[in-house]
Amino acid sequence: MRRTLRHFHGLEVRVTRVSVDEVRAEAMETARLLAEEAAARDE
């Protein structure tokens, strides 16, 4: 039982880390798209 919990916790930590990377990537992508829209509006 304890081993299962530890294993699950390890997976949870890994999923959280991936989610943080995905959120950061999405934020950078959103910022890039907004910058492109602003540049297109200025032209």
The pLDDT tens digits for 4-18 are 666 666 666 666 677
pLDDT of residue 9: 64
pLDDT digits (tens, 9 = 90+) for 10-43: 666 666 677 888 889 999 999 999 999 999 999 8
pLDDT of residue 37: 95
In whole angstroms, what is the distance from residue 17 CA to residue 41 CA?
36
DSSP for 9-21, written as a single string: HHHHHHHHHHHHH
pLDDT of residue 20: 84
* Residue among 14, 11, 17 at smallest CA distance from 3: 11
The predicted model scores a pTM of 0.50
* Residue among 14, 34, 36, 16 at smallest CA distance from 24: 16
pLDDT of residue 4: 60
In whole angstroms, what is the distance from residue 11 CA to residue 28 CA?
26
